[in-house]
Structure 1
Amino acid sequence: MKRILAAGLVLAGLTAPLAAEEIKELNFGIISTESSAGLAKSFDPMLKDLEKAVGIPVKAYFAQDYAGVIEGMRFKKVDLAWFGNKSAMEAVDRAEGEVFVQTTKPDGTKGYYSLIIANADNNNVNTLKDVIDCSKGLNFGNGDPNSTSGNLVPSYYVFALNKVDPNKCFKRVVVSNHEGNALAVANKQVDIATNNTESMDRLKQLRPDDAAKIKEVWRSPLIPSDPLVWRSDLPADLKAKIYTFFLTYGRLGSDAEVERQRAVLAKTSDGWGVFVPSSNAQLYPIRQLALFKDRLKIEADTKLSADEKAKKLEAIDAQLASLDEQMKKTPAM
């Protein structure tokens, strides 16, 4: 445990003092994967423990969509937050955020899967081939534009690779969070929708009757588990307290206290295990995916001249090459 903390403190740049404004309250941003009421109940016990550890009030911060939490961090209304990888990438690029730890599952695994789901009674959709068959006139529930599993991953693997434009292929496209999309499928309001294995596990716990009405018709490659991101300009001593809390939570203390904390984690979001050190390097595969998606879009753009297309593709290839070099130099987490 001491080695994990020491290595993580160096990784997070906490060994050097920082001058920053005094923080009297921490706002913890929570992305809108479901209703705010459900998420508040889920996160409240852990945030109360964080409050005790850092010695200042910790408040949950909700917004209507992922962009609201990103913008909250940009304008210093959010100090640290739970993000998906795509929204974390936006927070790093647009809001001076910094990944510092990664969530895990109770069994220690560090990943999950994006899904395309359909109603269990829908015999018209059973495979990926059915999903991208534009002649079926399906109604599609897409995810938040800043969602990794709800938007970025399926937009590349399901649609871009198969040269399908959802806005042209489907009869109707609606956008919602994971819970909203799942319930829309269960209630036959849409034919198919994006989702992920974590949200489906949570739905099975909270609304088993609705979960039973849903079937999986496509599953993505493994996606890295969600990161926690803090404002890079937080005071170093406060960062150290926050970091120590998350890296020791569910690990250190009496047997009874460790058991209590792990029980809290198991009921947070879709069910978490202990946290592990991380950094912005966690986002490299997501950056690759976003660039690959853009590359395919440019290749298929018939409005670009040959020279324009070549220049744009060259620029993306240069970014991909640079990213590849960075990944080679980054030690495994």
Structure 2
Amino acid sequence: MVRFRTKGWLGAFLAGLLALVVVVACTPQSSQPDAAAPDSVQLTQLKFGVGPYFPTPNENRKQFEPLFQEVGEQLGLPTEVVVADDWIGISEALRSGTLDVAWLGPWGYVLAHHNEPSLDAIATVKYKDQPTYYSVLMARADAPFETLEEAIALSQQGEKLKISLADVGSTSGWLVPQAEFLRRNLDPKAVFDYSEGASHAAQAIALLNGQVDIASDYDRNLDVLTSEGKIDKSQIKIIWQSDPLPNDPIVVRGDFPEDLKARLQEVLVNLTPEQTETLLPPNYTGFVVSDGSNYAPIETAGKSVGKLK
């Protein structure tokens, strides 16, 4: 009798142990406490960056800080605003993770995304209710040529005309004009007395001061300089204008939390006309949703001039 009862107890024990092993083995791995989700990154502050849109860092900060502060308040996070001295610097800061969010130029975004594909464009700014703008080449109103074709011919026939392109991180001031010259099978350094690297704020002023004959810029900047009384737009004529280009994107770094990204995008695209009038620089009228695909023409231009492989 004793031997029989012992055998039954042992069988029950072994059956129970086997059941426990099966339960443990079938437990999903995702239930383990050390399995971290991508959104586990928690931010205690939002670091925003913006490129050199206005003539001085203080003016740049004054124009953009209200928007970033409002966004931070709506997201429940304190903000820090970083103003960059050049277009490449702001995109590199975002790519390195020094910044969380940046208002980039289109070419700066394409360059940064090419080097770090995890960067996401989430919105495109509207200017006068349009998500596009134009690159221009301009001359003084009294210049002896009306078009880029005439300027090229004049420069090839006699003394070379002086042309100034903006810094190499600029979409409208460098990339798009370079792509246009390439389309024409022309080397601007051979045709013109060529220089590059100037800020947009300096381009029109150098032109009007007689330092150069032709300068690159973009239509939005000419509006700003005119409204601030820095130039008289009637003294300038446009000798070439690009096709429509996508306006500036708002871009987040690669490991930016997905839930916060969605909320940030929602805040931007849902700004009211009254809010945009007080939070954004003049003529900027809000944002539209972007996934980055609208910047494909900028990428094409980058490849055409050999800056992207």
TM-score for both structures, normalised by structure 2:
0.80
**Which of these residues, 148, 173, 185, is aligned with residue 128 of structure 1?**
148
Structure 2 residue 202 is matched with structure 1 residue 188: no
Structure 2 residue 290 is matched with structure 1 residue 278: yes
Counterpart position of 1:220: 242
Counterpart position of 1:40: 61
1:118 partner SS:
strand
Where structure 1 has 5 or more consecutive residues not aligned to the other structure, the ranges are 1-16, 251-257, 298-315, 320-333
**Which of these residues, 241, 256, 259, is aligned with residue 237 of structure 1?**
259
CA deviation string 1:214-247 (max 9, x = no partner)? 2211111111222111112111232233122112
CA deviation string 1:12-39 (max 9, x = no partner)? xxxxx63353322222111123322221
- In structure 2, how many angstroms separate the alpha carbons of the residues matched to 1:221 and 1:79? 31
Paired AA for residue 82 in structure 1: W
Q: CA deviation at 1:49?
A: 0.8
Percent of paired sites with the same residue: 28
**Which of these residues, 166, 178, 185, is aligned with residue 155 of structure 1?**
178
Q: CA deviation at 1:122?
A: 2.4
Question: Does the CA-based 8 Å contact 1:183-1:210 persist in structure 2?
Answer: no
Question: Does the CA-based 8 Å contact 2:205-2:231 persist in structure 1?
Answer: no
Structure 2 residue 78 is matched with structure 1 residue 78: no
Q: What's the Cα RMSD here?
A: 2.2
Q: CA deviation at 1:208?
A: 5.4
Where structure 2 has 5 or more consecutive residues not aligned to the other structure, the ranges are 1-36
- Bigger Cα Rg: 2
- In structure 2, how many angstroms separate the alpha carbons of the residues matched to 1:165 and 1:287? 21
Question: Does the CA-based 8 Å contact 1:119-1:185 persist in structure 2?
Answer: yes
Question: Does the CA-based 8 Å contact 1:132-1:164 persist in structure 2?
Answer: no
- In structure 1, how many angstroms separate the alpha carbons of the residues matched to 2:46 and 2:58? 20
- In structure 2, how many angstroms separate the alpha carbons of the residues matched to 1:64 and 1:209? 22
Paired AA for residue 38 in structure 1: E
Counterpart position of 2:278: 264
Matches within 5 A, 1:250-261: 250=272, 259=274, 261=275
Question: Does the CA-based 8 Å contact 1:126-1:217 persist in structure 2?
Answer: yes
- In structure 2, how many angstroms separate the alpha carbons of the residues matched to 1:284 and 1:248? 25
- In structure 1, how many angstroms separate the alpha carbons of the residues matched to 2:195 and 2:235? 21
Cα distance change of structure 1 residues 208 and 236 upon mapping to structure 2, 3 Å threshold: same
Cα distance change of structure 1 residues 146 and 209 upon mapping to structure 2, 3 Å threshold: closer
2:97 partner SS:
coil
Structure 2 residue 48 is matched with structure 1 residue 28: yes
**Which of these residues, 83, 98, 106, is aligned with residue 120 of structure 2?**
98
Report how many aligned residue pairs link the two structures: 268
TM-score for both structures, normalised by structure 1:
0.74
CA deviation string 1:232-288 (max 9, x = no partner)? 2111232233122112111xxxxxxx52x03125x42x5211211111212222222
Counterpart position of 2:83: 62
